Structure 1
Amino acid sequence: MQAQLRETATELAAVLWREHTVYRERGGGVVIRGDHVRRWISLAPTAGKDQALVRAGRILDGGTTAPARLEAVVDLTAGTAELAAVCRRLLAETAADAAPSTAGAARAGRAARPARARSRSKAVRPRRGRHTGVGSWVVLLCVGAVVALWAYSVYGGVY
């Protein structure tokens, strides 16, 4: 099964991307990595004969891989063209999932700006200085009251 997966993955990689890397996973599967498109495809053996679990995911900044977003079970006896069609569909859905959605941001109650713009605007905003909050004033007043009660009890109200 391992040799069949490796052969199928090599053929599939040539169909999907011009630039690719094919390597073996720890679990016995094969990974096709397309760094230029920032996506990866994994073929892993399943319990069924001549079937493979195809997973698709993104490649993050720095070259690390994100967990698989989508997966499907395919028949390896089908041609490379059919397998490539399934992989392209998974890759397209992965790319659509990775695109920022304004609906999700609107539901969360945030402005529909990218995360970088939000964090940059907060970082540029100057701080006005430190202000003591209401909770801090309450703590200070309680400490002052305890010190005053201690002084009254020790000195008996006579100074």
Structure 2
Amino acid sequence: MSVQLRERAGELAAHLWREHTVYRERSGGVVIRGEHVRRWISLAPAGGRDEILVRAGRILEGGTTAPARSEVVVPLSMGTAALATACRRLLAEAAADATPRVPRPDKGAGRFRRRAGRPAKTGRSTRRRGRCPRRLRWLVPGCVAGVVVFQLHRLGLLAG
């Protein structure tokens, strides 16, 4: 099975990418790395006799691999072109998962829609620490002024 897997991986790698590296995993599977596209494909024996588990993922900065984003079980007897099509679909899913989802600058749609009057959530609080709310801004100076007026009145310096 591992010899068939290695041969199939070589054919598949030539179909997918011009630049690739094929190597064997510890578990007996085969990995195809496309460094220039920052993606990888793994072919491993599945539970069935003529089935393989195909997984796809990303290559992170520094060359480490991220966990598989998507996987599918396919028959080993599937043609190389059909297997390449399945792999391209998995690679597209892995690429779609990797792109950050940012709301559009217009009113937005779906789950990115904001409620009226609420600021957008940016991951940090919109209020700065150390600043009091607008309605409490004059509370402390007002209390200080009240204490001063009371003391002046008590000493008789204020006519009243």
1:100 matched residue in structure 2:
100
Counterpart secondary structure, 1:72: strand
1:109 aligns with 2:121: yes
Q: Residue 32 of structure 1 aligns to a residue in which SS?
A: strand
2:65 alignment partner AA: T
Q: 1:105 to 1:22 in 2, by over 3 A?
A: farther
Larger Rg: 2
2:76 is aligned with 1:64: no
1:47 Cα offset (Å): 1.6
Tell me the CA shift for residue 106 of structure 1.
Answer: 8.0
Q: What is the alpha-carbon root mean square deviation over aligned residues?
A: 2.2
What do residues 50-109 of structure 1 show as CA deviations (whole Å, max 9, x unaligned)? 110000000000000000010000111010011000000000111111011015888992
Map of 1:143 onto structure 2: none
Point out the structure with the larger helix share: 1
After superposition, the Cα gap between the structure-2 partners of 1:106 and 1:20, relative to the gap in structure 1 and judged at 3 Å, is farther
Q: Deviations over 1:111-150 (max 9, x none)?
A: 7xxxxxx9xxxxxxxxxxxx9xxxxxxxxxxxxxxxxxxx
- Report the number of matched residues: 113
TM-score (norm 2): 0.66
Segments of 5+ residues of structure 1 without an aligned counterpart are: 112-117, 119-130, 132-159
Is 2:26 aligned against 1:14?
Answer: no
Partner of 1:80: 80
CA shift, 1:37, in A, is 0.1
Secondary structure in structure 2 of the residue aligned to 1:85: helix
How far the C-alpha of 1:42 sits from its partner, in A, is 0.1
Which aligned segments of 4 or more residues in structure 1 are displaced greater than 3 angstroms? 103-108
Normalised by the length of structure 1, the TM-score is 0.66
Q: Which consecutive residues of structure 2, in runs of 5 or more, have no partner in the other structure? A: 104-110, 115-119, 125-129, 131-160
